[in-house]
Structure 1
């Protein structure tokens, strides 16, 4: 909360302060409505007719939020397809809403959500609802006023105005006179019953008072009816004109003196006040004599203002996530009491008036533990003077300034010496100086100096020519040549890719300067057939492309080399780690690291890998028979899978056997050895003549069979 007094009227800003509720004392903090804010910006705000709901639109993303004042919290939130230009509440509560979007769409919402969407022919800027006929009147970037009948669900014949564009519109709540404000500074009034224009006011000339400096005629930026005969008109130059509909001359002209468009107009009937607002200030003044009642100036720009009915509270939509809430109480000279749903504000403001504390809402200073040690306040950790927050503490700003002045009493002397040193340096710059390169970005400074000299020489040859301002002499870029953080890294990828383009542009620029200098010296027209200074061959234009490609190739090559080196280091570290796990000594590891370096075609040595360079053994195995190869695999307990189609790569893996398989193999091995011992050779037997292969056995066959049986 923030309390301000303007013209002896106290104004309470209930939404003032930073979003740090844990830092503030809960007893001294007021959160009227929870989450009363938008993600980025709030564009417009309204209160329903029954006073229970507050509706606001904002960005980003485009959305509408509805707050329930009885619950003091957010009721619902709906996101929209595009930003809202204007919206209105057609029912007493939130059940019927109309939105005019920036993309010409008109969207209708019911209680459950989106209901219907249609489109108007031109971009709209404002609309009004005519209750007796259920017509919506849309004005925008057109001379026509479009009418949409909600009962029939169709567009009706438009109203043709004399204006090029219409900015705002409003309907009188008593006799339903429709008025539209034009971009030419006129107000046209129409009777909806006969659809004819009944009057026109020229507000542009009436708003030009003595001492007003205006470029062009002002346009109408806001419009508001009050009762049956009073109308307020706001202009784009910051004037508010009060009219009686029976007269073409304004009763009163109120100037905001900011030359900003009037964005909102409201009437406060109990005190006969007008609440007008531009993007900078809200002014509350008497509509009879124009005397200022009070004014409110928020910290951010204003988009819309809404007064809660029959109360002294008003809401503002700002160019800020927070939506401000202002309350003007008091027995005398007050806008009104607090609303029924926050009646406690009256008692609270009375207590604050009885015991004013101007220091309740002072700011805090964030300090770290190192700052506390430098200030000698480490002993305050854990006390009520320090509130822990993240990696530091919050402390009262007054205490911080007081302790800092005591800890460093010579701070003013140091500040004074720094100011004197700065003055001396500024006076030195006015002397005649030799060109001196800065400490940071010397190459860039030298290049800019050379280009500046060329332009100065060219300007001196031309009488009317002027040299372009140099970056070296611009204060906005001085940190680039003073702060080491702005040093150009010529080895970075961005610089190497951009340097060919910049160099080519610099060469073209120098060439153009030389040609212009020659033309200025000769002071004659370019001879026919000679190439123009702006004409360049396509080869020159595209030469930098090859340089950029070459730089990209080098960058890719360096990236590959770096990754290869990282892989080598990772492999070497893995080998050392495995050997260390196997119990090898460090000296042996260092010696093996020096002697055995794996080649690029080799895989790391180990029990689970085999080298790829044993080509002789592979060829020998390929020449052996299948029986021999299987025997070797059985003896070694390994199996090899090779594929000659993929570079003769070989994968070796060990077969895991169960205990039963090992016993079975051992039994078979013992059986074969026993059979070999019992086996007798039959080479001494000779085969006799017998029948052919198909004619039975001969004698020799019988003897051989007997030998086997024996």
Structure 2
């Protein structure tokens, strides 16, 4: 268990980088452990928490009992039962999955967004059915009240598949994206007011009332939000380029966080959508992969680093390098200090920050290990 201290904050790296191969015999394992002291101190939080080649996505079920990872090669989805700290099932699929939406409280029902425009729906026993959308998808959301599965495409439409009736509903279309080369990059749905937000490469965020299908919200991030110094030409007084919005996350029904392609993070109040009430420059001119809220802090994942800062003051809590491999997605276990990152490497990177929060209930032994 490696530990490093940054800004007075201890970060424990729990990534199992040096796990022995499955085919190693008991005698070979014993010999290897005696030769390498690092392996004897090795901590494997969840057994077989890895992919054959690389991981594209990671998330947890709503009941916080099951962990899902997507990856290659072959394209597959793996589910881990956190109570037993072990693999529950491993399913191979036809095309590479890169986003998923869990449709039930546990592991039984989920939908996979895959390459080649496929959406694959699974049930407890395995694959249930799959359908194709007209344009490549970039993100996926779900409304449990209407059983509508929303698939944001790489163009101007958000497709709606009603899983109860098994048919497409009228797609949600952004008038600002029609006739342009721009498209959606992410979407987010809020249960409280049934507002679906779609972020785009044009630097806009559009919102639809999913009960009526009407566009009721529009926000131009690239025009009114503060930008980084590199994106502004001081000699001419204009912006050099349009920064696309790469991710969107609800903090609560009224506040959202946005990440852009040039490394900026904004927090908006939906009632005042012209300028953000919080702005933070990550100081990396790389796209923000995803953002998460934790109490009074905001967590942002970039291709090669992770940053955490206080929302009220903007002061950095901690920031650290995640390694050579590029990060694809992050999952933060709610109300805890445990973070897992899906990367372009076989292992799922795991970090524990005790000052961020306690360990989750399924790995509460981490707190005692840290004290020792």
Name the TM-score, length of structure 1 as normaliser.
0.47
1:17 Cα shift?
4.0
CA shift digits 1:206-241 (9 cap, x unpaired): 444362336420111101111111101111111111
Distance of aligned partners of 1:350 and 1:83 in 2 relative to their CA distance in 1, 3 Å threshold: same
Q: Which residue of 1 aligns with 2:212?
A: 194
Aligned length: 345
CA shift digits 1:328-372 (9 cap, x unpaired): 11xxxx221111121111111001xxxxxxxxxxxxxxxxxxxxx
Q: Which residue of 1 aligns with 2:8?
A: 8
Mapping 1:229-628, distance limit 5 Å: 229-247=254-272, 248-269=274-295, 272-299=296-323, 300-329=325-354, 334-351=355-372
Q: Which residue of 2 aligns with 1:28?
A: 41
1:75 Cα shift?
1.2
1:85 Cα shift?
2.6
User: Counterparts of 2:304 and 2:343 in 1: how far apart (Å)?
Assistant: 10
User: Counterparts of 2:229 and 2:185 in 1: how far apart (Å)?
Assistant: 27
Distance of aligned partners of 1:260 and 1:207 in 2 relative to their CA distance in 1, 3 Å threshold: farther
Distance of aligned partners of 1:173 and 1:11 in 2 relative to their CA distance in 1, 3 Å threshold: farther
1:310 Cα shift?
2.3
Q: SS of 1:321's equivalent?
A: coil
Q: Which residue of 1 aligns with 2:29?
A: none
| Contact 2:143/2:191 (8 A) holds in 1 | no
Are residue 213 (structure 1) and residue 231 (structure 2) matched?
yes
Q: SS of 1:338's equivalent?
A: coil
Q: Which residue of 1 aligns with 2:19?
A: 19
User: Counterparts of 2:16 and 2:222 in 1: how far apart (Å)?
Assistant: 38
Q: Which residue of 1 aligns with 2:51?
A: 38
User: Counterparts of 1:50 and 1:109 in 2: how far apart (Å)?
Assistant: 18
User: Counterparts of 2:187 and 2:77 in 1: how far apart (Å)?
Assistant: 23
User: Counterparts of 1:297 and 1:207 in 2: how far apart (Å)?
Assistant: 28
User: Counterparts of 1:26 and 1:43 in 2: how far apart (Å)?
Assistant: 27
Unmatched segments (≥5 aa) in structure 1: 352-710
Higher relative contact order (CA 8 A, sep 6+): 2
Q: SS of 2:206's equivalent?
A: strand
1:251 Cα shift?
0.8
| Contact 1:2/1:16 (8 A) holds in 2 | no
| Contact 1:174/1:227 (8 A) holds in 2 | no
User: Counterparts of 2:128 and 2:101 in 1: how far apart (Å)?
Assistant: 15
CA shift digits 1:28-58 (9 cap, x unpaired): 2211111111111100000111111110000
Mapping 1:85-234, distance limit 5 Å: 85-162=98-175, 163=177, 164-209=182-227, 211-213=229-231, 215-234=240-259
1:16 Cα shift?
5.0
User: Counterparts of 1:190 and 1:258 in 2: how far apart (Å)?
Assistant: 32
1:282 Cα shift?
0.8
User: Counterparts of 1:301 and 1:16 in 2: how far apart (Å)?
Assistant: 17
Mapping 1:32-71, distance limit 5 Å: 32-71=45-84
| Contact 1:234/1:240 (8 A) holds in 2 | yes
Structure (1 or 2) with the larger CA radius of gyration: 1
CA shift digits 1:464-488 (9 cap, x unpaired): xxxxxxxxxxxxxxxxxxxxxxxxx
Q: SS of 1:261's equivalent?
A: coil
Higher-strand-fraction structure: 2
Structure 1 segments (4+ residues) deviating >4 Å = none
Q: SS of 1:194's equivalent?
A: coil
User: Counterparts of 2:332 and 2:213 in 1: how far apart (Å)?
Assistant: 32
| Contact 2:2/2:13 (8 A) holds in 1 | yes
User: Counterparts of 1:283 and 1:210 in 2: how far apart (Å)?
Assistant: 17
CA shift digits 1:244-295 (9 cap, x unpaired): 11112111211112111111111113xx111111101111111222211111
User: Counterparts of 2:71 and 2:369 in 1: how far apart (Å)?
Assistant: 31
CA shift digits 1:619-653 (9 cap, x unpaired): xxxxxxxxxxxxxxxxxxxxxxxxxxxxxxxxxxx
Higher-helix-fraction structure: 1
| Contact 1:207/1:239 (8 A) holds in 2 | no
User: Counterparts of 1:100 and 1:40 in 2: how far apart (Å)?
Assistant: 19
Q: SS of 1:212's equivalent?
A: helix
1:309 Cα shift?
2.0
Q: SS of 2:229's equivalent?
A: coil
1:198 Cα shift?
1.3
Bigger mean CA deviation after superposition, 36-45 or 206-215: 206-215
Over the aligned positions, Cα root-mean-square deviation in angstroms equals 1.5
1:27 Cα shift?
5.3
Distance of aligned partners of 1:61 and 1:207 in 2 relative to their CA distance in 1, 3 Å threshold: farther
Name the TM-score, length of structure 2 as normaliser.
0.89
Unmatched segments (≥5 aa) in structure 2: 21-31, 233-239
User: Counterparts of 1:159 and 1:13 in 2: how far apart (Å)?
Assistant: 43
Q: SS of 1:348's equivalent?
A: helix
Q: SS of 2:223's equivalent?
A: helix
